[in-house]
Amino acid sequence: MSGPAIQVERLVFAYPDGRQALFGVDFTVERGERVALLGPNGAGKTTLVLHLNGILGSVAGGTGSGRIQIGGTGLHREHLGEIRRKVGLVFQDPDDQLFMPTVRDDVAFGPANLGLRGAELDDRVHEALVQVGMQDHADLAPHHLSFGQRRRVAVATVLAMRPEVLVLDEPSSNLDPAARRELADILAGLDVTLLMITHDLPYALQLCERSLLMDDGRIVADGKTRDLLGDAELMRAHRLELPYGFNPHSVPGPER
C-alpha cells in the first residue's frame, strides 16, 4: 500500500496486426490526483487505459514491454485480480458496460466476482448506487434508463468494487448539458484518484488540475490543465481546439 497510484514506465505496445499504438509512455499519477488525458483521435489514449488493468499488453499475452505499477503493486499475471479491483474502468458506451438484466444485477457483478455474497453484497450495491444518485432505479432494466442515467450506473458498477483509481473513457460524450453537469458533480465528490480521457476540454479544466497530452502513442505534454489549454501553439500542433469563445484563463478551475 505504498507508492504512487499509477506509475507507467517505458510502455510500448503493438496490436496483433502490427500497428504500433504506444511508443514508450512514461507518467506517474499520485494518490488523490485528478488527471485528464487529452489528445486527438487515434493518439492511443484508450489503448493506454486498457493497459492499466491488464486487458491489453504483455500481461494479457500481447506484444509489448514496459512496467506498470498500481498503488505499488506491479502488473503481473498473478496480481491481475487485485489490479482489476484497484483500477475501475468506465467504458465510453454504457451499453457495453451494462450487460445484466437489471441495474442491481449489473452493479453487483463486480463485487460478486470479488467474492461478496448476501447482505454484504446488497450493501455494497446500495452504497455505489447512492454515490451516483441512482438508488431508486435499482430494479429497472438498463434499456429503460436515459443515456445520462446509464452513464451514471456505469460509474456505479465500477465504484461498487471500491477502486483506488477510477479511469473514465470520455465520460461527458453524448450527454446533454444537465446530465454532463450532474456527472461532473458526482465525479468531483468522489474520493478516488481519477484519470479521465476526454475531448471535452472545458470538462478537463473543470475537474482536473493536471493534464497529460498524448499524440502518436507518446505523452507530449504534462502539466497544469490551464497552462496546457492556454498554450495555443501546443494545442494547434496536436489538433486540439477550444470551444468557440472559451478562454481557459477566465474560468474557475479545481485549484484550491
Partner 1 sequence: MTGDGLLVAVDSPVHRIPAQVKLVALFVFVLAVVSTPAAVFWAFGVYAGMLVAAVAVAKVPAPVVSRRLAVETPFIVFALLLPFVATGPQVSVLGLELSQSGVLGAWNVLAKGTLGVIAAILLSATTAPRELLAGLERLRLPATLVAILSFMVRYLSVVSDDLHRMRVARESRGYMGGRVGHLKAVAGGVGALFVRSFERGERVHLAMRSRGYTGRMPLLSVQGASRGQWMHGVAISVVAVVVAVAARMVSS
**Residues found near partner 1 in the complex (CB under 8 A):** 50, 53, 55, 81, 84-85, 87-89, 91, 93, 95-102, 105, 108-110, 112-114, 118, 139-144, 157-158, 161
> Measured from the CB atom, is 65 or 113 closer to partner 1?
113
Q: Which three cell numbers stand for residue 244?
A: 468557440
Between the alpha carbon of residue 18 and those of residues 14, 62, 113, 219, the distances in Å are 6, 11, 34, 21
Question: Which is closer to partner 1, CB of 80 or CB of 242?
Answer: 80
β pairing state of 6-14 and 63-70: antiparallel
**Shortest distance in whole angstroms from residue 89 CB to partner 1:** 4
Closest to partner 1 by CB, 64 or 253: 64
Does residue 251 sit in helix, strand or coil?
coil
Nearer residue to partner 1 within complex by CB, 88 or 253: 88
- Minimum CB separation of residue 36 from partner 1 in Å reads 20
Neighbour tally for 89: CB within 10 Å: 20
Q: Assess contact for 38 and 212: CB atoms under 8 A.
A: yes
Distance between CA atoms of residues 78 and 57, nearest Å: 15
Cα→Cα distances 186→4, 43, 133, 153, 154, Å: 24, 28, 8, 12, 13
- What minimum distance in Å lies between the beta carbon of 97 and partner 1? 5
At closest approach, how far in Å is the CB of 75 from partner 1? 14
In terms of CB distance, is 75 or 98 closer to partner 1?
98
Min dist CB 165 to partner 1, Å, is 12
